[in-house]
Structure 1
Amino acid sequence: MSDRILLSQAHVTEVEERYVLDALRSGWVAPLGPHVDAFEAEVAERVGVAGALALSSGTAALHLALLELGAGPDKMVLVPSMTFAATVNAVMYTGAEPFFIDSQLSDGNVDPHLLIEAVDALRGEGRDIATVITVDLFGRCCDYDVIEPALVERGIPLLEDAAEALGATYGGRAAGSFGRAAALSFNGNKVMTTSGGGMLLSDDLELLDRCRYLSTQARQPVPWYEHTEVGYNYRLSNLLAALGRAQLTRLDDMIARRRHWRSQYRDLFEQHAGVRILGGADDSEDNCWLTAIAIDPETATITLDTLGDALHAARIDTRPVWKPMHLQPAWKGLSGAIDGTSERIFDQGLTLPSGSAMTDEQFERVLLEITKVVA
């Protein structure tokens, strides 16, 4: 039986082995250490921000940033409906109320005009908006030319959830450099991984210092353990930071491989009516983390279920795109500016194997199985 082809498997080589072995031999196996410091500096330089804070997850990065941006009880945080649950969970941790914003059809990212209309409407009702979160979906940045200046004009901080987008750019600016702060994820299925982990990025060094303090149990700078407020155990370990540093040296090559898969998917699906790559015709600034397609049931000759079932039968992983947050039972009854676009994308969307660890032979298997269906 052939091996299962995964959606986005971690891509680990002898480079990672060398870095992790160095961390082990150094004795810095507990949280923090020289690899953590170096990893923060290297990612900050790559993204082009003043500083970075290495954390145990992207969710932790969002949570800490939200606290420092004023999220809490009686406050609202605007969030794209099409995202992973972690974005909304971080809001809930603070006691703030999420308000969901629907997508634009082209790429699934938040609709910038719907977002700004919602900000103005909520303020007109007297609601207190702590911050707006954007999510760079599947490695494609949001429309920051519209979103960023509009929020600056209104005095509302922007928090960029760039968990899926490290290595992507928008107008030449790196994902992770927009707004007051940004969160990255290094989960095992991301473009690069630290096994589990994340990072908070910002040009606001005071914000980062405050989050650094909170992330280490809010310990006071005295010889004994002194705590004047609640803190969190959110720091990244030195071992995992070593893995991340190795991955960062290979990031461009891994993105290039994902982009190569994307171009071949595009060549295949352009021959078939009713099937499109989510994100449009231009991938030049995407990191191509996951290639997602949308199948229009009115014009396509295949269905989402037919393709998904055939790939699973061939031991090839697929997954629907994110189920919109306003449809999730956990947040039933919460409000939003919803026009049905994210539901349409969810009904039509499917993600395909995209990992840089995939071999040429494995990718040929994927294309062959897809071709059997679309033919």
Structure 2
Amino acid sequence: MRPAASAARHPLLGLAVLFAAAFTTITTETLPSGLLPLMSRALQVPESLVGLLVGAYALLILAVTVPLVALTSRWSRRRLLIVLMGAFAAGNLLTALAPNYSVAMAARLVAGLGHGVLWSMMAAYAASLVAPHRTGRAIAGVFAANSAALTLGVPLGTALGQVAGWRVPFAILAGLAALVAAVARVALPDMPGTAKARPSSIRAVRLPDVRTVMVTTGLVMLGHFTLATYIAPFLLGAGIAQTGLSTALLAFGLAGVLGVIAAGAAVDRAPRGALLTALGAMTLAVAALVLLRGNAAVAAAAVWGAAYAALPPLLQALILKAAPGAQAAASALFIITFNISITAGSLLGGQLLAWHGPTALPFAAAILTAAAVLPAARRITLTATRASLG
């Protein structure tokens, strides 16, 4: 078996493959949020049920990740990644061909089976491709795919769906997943599995900073996905024309690129301060959406997109830093927390949309996002105080 260390010859290529895999999976998970009106009409179900195509996907991740990680623990990492990308290709293709809602839901579950398994191995695989002193930046670079998918993949998929129909973006994702699997076979070095797949989750969750990142992640992502899952009907209700929806989402995505760049610059130097800045900016922008309409709402959404895009790499870097002896477990806890919030956010947003209309969404999201600032600010203040006393 070829050791992972041999990837030092072409580390950027290997990281690019991991980034593409991560980008594909997150875009797959959240794309229905941008295509809600189109899918609702085509599948003849309410928009709240289409939102559950995101929520059920995330719920499946919570249910199967731990047993599947154990089941595949001895597989080589390259083989496992190829198999998982094959599942994403199949699931997206089935979604594109789905004749009704039930088949679409089943197809989504096929795609979601390996999502948590893939992400649980990403940090270690990325770290194996570079020298030890570049590990943090390599991991942050791969995990930036999370932000890139939500701020570029979904808006671009939405724009394409507006022009060519909602099935086309899922077909393209199927092709992209198959391409990643093919390239991974030749571009990624192999990395052996491990005899023990059970991470020290109890040890990790006992660490105060790990708990802080988990609570902060849970609250801010719950707020984000309460609104983001139903962003299309919200923007339509805020005075954005159907023809302008893809442009508004693209503005959200382009602003997110700036957020990812800013996070990359700050992740090694001042991740805690950058986290508070992003949380504060996101809270203000989402709160402004309660009142704004038209182009002003699009501008506020762009600020929201920039602030949100910075959060996943910052939170991931902080939780890994908080658990130097249990990084795999900390990463798994981050993924589980993230997906609990996706599920809960899609359910909460769906209920708010059904009972109170789209204007209730940013109100609830702003409250939850503001609540996320409190544990982060408190823990950062305590850390700074201890450092000054030390």
TM class by smaller structure: under 0.3
Structure number with the higher helix fraction is: 2
Bigger Cα Rg: 1
> TM-score, normalised to structure 1's length?
0.26
> TM-score, normalised to structure 2's length?
0.26
Structure number with the higher strand fraction is: 1
